[in-house]
Amino acid sequence: MIIVAGENVVDLLPAGDGLLRPALGGGPANVAVAAARLGAPVAMAARLGRDAFGTAFRRRLEASGVDTRYLVRTTEPSALALATLTDDGEAGYDFWLAGAADFGWRGSELPDPRPGDILHVGSLAAFLPPGADVLAGWVQRHRPRCTITFDPNLRAVALSAPGARERLERLVRLAHVVRASDQDLRLAYPEAEPLATARRWLADADPDGGPRLVVLTHAAAGATALTPATGVSATPPPVTVVDTIGAGDAAMGALLAALHADQARDLADMLRFVCAAGALACTRPGADPPGLAEVLAACR
């Protein structure tokens, strides 16, 4: 089982004439949906708001085959993000997060995984207090018997949290597998090239902590997978971009599905699968990851 822990967010998308269209998103929720659509067994651990969006988030997850047994209903509101799009479909966000349900984790609310489960954390919930400390403690507690994956999916609001870079480094060290974008690493470490940061994370790993696989995505240029012993690259299939919302999350979901299916032994095949999922997510508006048949066809 894959257990994804993190936030659901309402993305407010431009709809023309100054109007906005709400779409259901949130990095970890998108990852869970993406992995489930690719046939992996996925459960979502999330705190849902008291409003109508909280109900809609649950329905979205259920419709994609995500196990919702670990969802927690709260009396707090849902998180909102205003998305702005450039002419080439790149997305930027302004967030309304104060008091949102997603970031108030209590230790008793998180599930007790089984040995061999994959636990995934990332995005805003991994950085924003007070829940971020609870999530970090959860993965640290279960690291000896589970595979930990981490996707920072960085936003400026996360990096502005106290001790954000130290938290990033701690989560990388707790993870067995890390997926990050060039943009993430340039935002966190503007003084270093993204590939140099990824290699440093691998070089710093030891039997007590640190990743054994880092997947670095380069937007339209594809992705690179690095291990202590080797590195491979892949490019995505050509697509017509509508917007890039959820593309990185679709790639992370594909990586989780590949890890669960034990496909990481062939890094090149795994990376083509990851690139195809991310590219196809760009062909439709909002966070709407592709299904398995689409991704396999694109890989061929």
Q: What angle do CA 84, 88, 91 make, to 5 degrees?
A: 30
Enter the tokens of residue 260. Answer: 């669960």
Domain boundaries, the chain: 2-299
Answer for the pair 78, 51: CB distance below 8 angstroms, yes or no: yes
Domain range 2-299, CATH class? alpha beta
Q: Report the half-sphere exposure of 166 (CA within 13 A, side-chain side).
A: 4
Predicted local confidence at residue 88, as pLDDT: 64
CA 218 to each of CA 77, 83, 102, 275, 279: distance values in angstroms, whole numbers, following the listed order: 34, 21, 28, 10, 11
For 76-85, what is each residue's pLDDT tens digit?
999 998 877 7
Q: Which residues contact 64 (CB under 8 A, 6 or more apart)?
A: 32, 33, 36, 37
**Calpha distance 12→22 (Å, rounded):** 4
**Calpha distance 184→110 (Å, rounded):** 27
Q: What is the pLDDT along the chain (300 residues), one digit of tens a residue?
A: 999 999 999 988 877 787 888 889 999 999 999 999 999 999 999 999 999 999 999 999 999 999 999 999 999 999 998 877 776 666 677 888 989 999 999 989 999 999 999 999 999 999 999 999 999 999 999 999 999 999 999 998 899 888 999 999 999 999 999 999 999 999 999 999 999 999 999 998 888 899 999 999 999 999 999 999 999 999 999 999 988 889 999 999 999 999 999 876 789 999 999 999 999 999 998 889 999 999 999 998
Predicted local confidence at residue 212, as pLDDT: 96
The pTM assigned to this predicted structure is: 0.94
